[in-house]
Amino acid sequence: MNGKLIIFSAPSGAGKTTIVRHILGQHRDKFEFSISASTRDPRGTEENGKDYYFISKEDFLHKIAKHEFIEFEEVYAGTFYGTLRSELERIWALGKHVIFDIDVIGGLRLKSKYPDDALAIFVNPPSLAVLKERLSGRGTDSEEKLGERFAKAELELSYADKFDVILNNFDLDTACQEAEKLVLDFLARKD
């Protein structure tokens, strides 16, 4: 039997990564993080096989042709992200549930493929202004890239109501506790 899928999606900077790390830290025995594949270059201290599977665009397109992805998207022009089928199989073989920190469209695609076995949570930032402040404060992107991220964030916010739950991240500690309860309640449900 396969485990469940716990999907956290949000615009970049909304806090989904911190929330996912909190849940993993509290429940390492139950969950394993799904490592996405990406054609972008590593940022900062990111490591291949830990933060992402960094692969060339050519390899990514080859894997698409061989149906090795459960979902994928060209998130920015020329930059692809996706979830490898082998990644879910790896985690389920460990007897764990898969937890995702994934973009909004990817999250909805996963939910559509596993409607009964996935909980899709949209992490809602306090405001677009706060989101912009967080992204600018990271200092990891050029002005052009920040502009792309802001435009994408505005679009992604319009998809919130398509998720199972909207989790407001107005206070990070509260959001982490609420997320943990949502996830554990979902796992406790009988099919």
Q: Rounded CA gap, 65 and 136, in Å?
A: 36
- pLDDT tens by residue, 73-112: 998 788 999 999 999 999 999 999 999 999 899 999 999 9
User: Any residues with CB less than 8 A from the CB of 47 and at least 6 apart, and which?
Assistant: none
Q: What's domain 5-183's superfamily in CATH?
A: P-loop containing nucleotide triphosphate hydrolases (3.40.50.300)
- Where are the chain's structural domains? 5-183
User: Rounded to two decimals, what is the model's pTM?
Assistant: 0.88
Q: What phi and psi, each to the nearest 5 degrees, are found at residue 132? A: -60, -40
Asked whether 88 and 114 are in contact (CB, 8 A), the reply is no
Residues of the chain with pLDDT below 70 are 1, 134-141, 190-191
> In the prediction, which pLDDT does 37 show?
97
Radius of gyration of the chain (CA): 16
Q: Which residue in this structure is represented by tokens 């790896």?
A: 90
Annotated binding site: 10-17
Annotated binding site for ATP: 10-17
> In the prediction, which pLDDT does 99 show?
97
> In the prediction, which pLDDT does 190 show?
65
> In the prediction, which pLDDT does 38 show?
96
